[in-house]
Structure formats: C-alpha cells, structure tokens
Chain A
Amino acid sequence: MTTATDSFDMQPPRHSRWEPMRATTLEDARRRTDFVRMLRFALIGLAAALGLIVVIQLLLNNSNAEPEAVETVGENARMINPRFTGRDEGGAPFTVTADTAIRRRGEALNLTELENPRIDFEMLEAIDQSADGVLAETGIYDSEARTLDLDADVRFRTRSGYLFRSEDARIYLGEDRVVGDSAVEGIGPMGRIRADRYEVLDGGDHVVFTGNVVARIETDNASATTAPGTEDE
C-alpha cells in the first residue's frame, strides 16, 4: 500500500511559493558572496569617511577662535533720548537719560556712551535747572555694574546740600556713592572746599575730601549755597 509520503518522495520536489529561492549554481553563489562582501567593505569605508569629515569639521570650528564681529547698523548704533532705569540697593529707582546714546561697534554691549547725561536719582540732582538737569558734557553708563561715569564740566548737588563741580565723577547707582579722582570744588552747609579727590558716601551724609584740602568753614553759618564758581571769588 502506498501512503501519501511515499508518493511525495518519488516525484521531484515542487517549489511552493513560500519556500526561499536557492542559488541555482555554485558560480552564481560565489558571485553573490563577492558582491555582498564588496558592499560590506563599501559601507564600512563610507562610514569611516563620514566619521573623518565630522572630526575635521570639529577641528576647523575650534581653530577659528576669533568670533564673528556683531553686525550693527552702520558704524555705531546711535539712540536719541535714551532712557535707562534700574534700582539701587535700597530698592529706590533711578533713571538715566541723555540727549543721545552711542553704542560703538565691537564694544561690550553693557557700555553706552551718553551726551549730556541726566539723572533722576534719590541721592543727587543737577545743580542749575537752567541746564535742564544736565550733569556733565559726556558720560558712560554701564548697565551691568550700574555705574555712570561723568566727564567734562561735571556739576551736581547731593540731597544733603552739597554742590560739587569737578572734571570727572563715577556714580555707583547701586550703592548711593559717588567718587571723583580729579580736583573738586564744592560748597557744603558749613562752607567751601577744594581738594584733589572726593567721595560721597551714605547718600551724602558722609563726604570725604582727600589731598591738599583747602576749606573755608563759616562760623556764623551765613554759608553761601550758590553753585561753585558762579559767583565772585
């Protein structure tokens, strides 16, 4: 009796559609193997090349230390009627304004040059209102350090009644402090003073004059309170 399997063996194997295609000849098989090996090498080579390119790119970027200059509009950035605000240590607000402000190309972004700077600051104010509250001819405002450097014909009055005239001053807006490293002339509640340097502390309650101090102290306290240098000597 013949069973299903015997008849199956006798006939040549028929390929069903789901069985994998076998290589028909040994030659074909070798050719396929070579092709696959070549593909493998090619892919490995390609990966190595890509890696090399990435490394070279990184090296190029690092060697290029000079950052690209920040591009600003024209030579410098010029602002009309600039306004800078902030707060001092005690939380009191201050406002710095000026006719114009200039930010020079390539200069640190926190520094701004000012023309005819003015200030609204608890500790001090301009002397003669006729000059529209101008403190000096020029200044530099540093928004990070919260300082205002004043130059050329610096004039200001502290709230405690001291008038100062000097060629430079640095106002520490965060600390209610003013320092001047050039000759100063001033009038205080007790008289007139001239010195090489000065410092105004504690919001004006403590004033220090240093170097060749010459002062005229009034004793009957008819002390003059007009601006320094604006009346007859």
Chain B
Amino acid sequence: QIGRSGGPLDVQAQNMDVFDAEGRILLRGEVDVIQGDTRLAADQIEIFYTPGGNAATAGGFGDISRIVATGNVFYVTPLERARGSNGVYEAASDTVTLTGNVVLTRGENVITTTRFVTNLTTGNSSFDGGESGERVRSVLFPGSENAGGSDEDTNE
C-alpha cells in the first residue's frame, strides 16, 4: 500500500513490464500511482510481490511486499507533500521512506532533510540526517493549521 486507505493501485505510465515468474512489475516513464487519497509519482516505480497468487492463475502475484520508486519521487497525502530522490514502501513495517534531498511541506510548514519515514499504521513520521548525518531544517509557523500536525512527529 502507499496510503492508509488500502484498495487497488490506479497506475499510469509509459511502459509497464510484468515479470510473472518473479512476481515483479516495473513501471517506467512519468509513473503515477494513486491509492485512495494518496499519490506516489516518480520516473520509475517497481512493485514486488510475495510469491503465490490466487488459485485461478499460475502467476506469481501474492501480496505486495515492497514498492521502490526512483527519480523525482513525490509522495502526496491529504496532509503533507514530500519530495525526494528515492522512495521505498515496506509492507513488513508498513512504512514509506523517502531519501535524498527530501523536502516536506505541510500547510505552510517546510522541512528539509535527507531521510523521511512515515508509518502508515500509526501515522507517525520521523525525519533524520540518515547516512549523510545532515541536520534537519524546518520552518514552522506556530499559527498555521498544521503546526502541531494531527500526528506525533519526532525530529531526531
């Protein structure tokens, strides 16, 4: 999933390669994935499945285990809009992680960092310097609607 609402992924792209035996889908060229009220866009997005699939097909498509986005990654939810160089969704931890030059805007507030992690189950988000150890910078407007945000955000 890329959003908290679940449901199918509506995808648009220029190319779509489906590797049945590997349980993998490769989307390239202005890729735009929408799930409910959440959107993930990038130059390339790869979707990995757990092996298996429903009985009617011989394909290797169980559940989505991982989604990897590379190049001009945008992650947009009703509350926030984040941009980075790479993005990964991990089903095991139900988290979306953006890395590279991450810029996150929430209302009027802006946060720049090199790693942004949001947990789709708890709604918690965290920002840190990642490997580069760069400091997190943010401009927060106390009066703005989302100053505190409806979630517990942590700056590490």
Contact = CB atoms under 8 A, between A and B. Distances in A.
Q: Note whether A and B form a binding pair.
A: yes
Interface of A: 159-162, 188-191, 193, 195, 202, 204-223, 225
10 contacts: A160-B57, A190-B53, A190-B59, A191-B8, A191-B9, A205-B21, A210-B14, A214-B11, A216-B10, A217-B25
A195 B63 CA distance: 24
B interface residue count range (under 10 / 10 to 19 / 20 to 34 / 35 or more): 20 to 34
Interface string B2-37: 000011111111111111110001010000000100
A218 B1 CA distance: 10
A219 B63 contact: yes
A189 B57 contact: yes
Contact of B53 (A189, A213, A217): A189
A225 B57 contact: yes
B93 interface: no
Contact of B11 (A208, A213, A222): A213
A207 B49 CA distance: 16
A189 B57 CA distance: 6
B62 interface: yes
Contact of A219 (B7, B27, B54, B59): B7
Contacts of A225: 54, 56-57
A210 B10 CA distance: 16
B111 interface: no
Contacts of B10: 214-216
Given A189-B20, A221-B63, 5 more contacts: A159-B58, A161-B57, A213-B14, A215-B10, A220-B6
Contacts of B17: 206-209
Given A208-B16, A219-B35, A189 B7 contact: no
Given A191-B8, A216-B11, A207 B54 contact: no
B16 A195 contact: yes
Contacts of B58: 159-161, 189
A193 B18 CA distance: 11
B61 interface: yes
B15 A161 contact: no
Interface string B61-97: 1111000000000000000000000000000000000
B47 interface: yes
Nearest to A197: B15
A10 B64 CA distance: 138
Nearest to A217: B9
A213 B32 CA distance: 10
Give the residue among A190, A193, A215 with the most B Cβ atoms within 10 A: A190
B6 A160 contact: no
Contacts of A212: 12, 14
A188 B21 CA distance: 13
Contact of B19 (A206, A221, A223): A206
Given A189-B61, A207-B18, A208-B17, A213 B56 contact: no
Contacts of A159: 58
Contacts of A222: 54
B25 A190 contact: yes
A213 B15 contact: yes
Contacts of A208: 15-18
In order of increasing CB-CB distance, the 7 nearest A-B pairs are A189-B59, A161-B57, A189-B57, A217-B9, A190-B61, A209-B16, A225-B56
Given A213-B16, A215-B16, A216-B9, A161 B47 contact: no
Contacts of B13: 213, 215
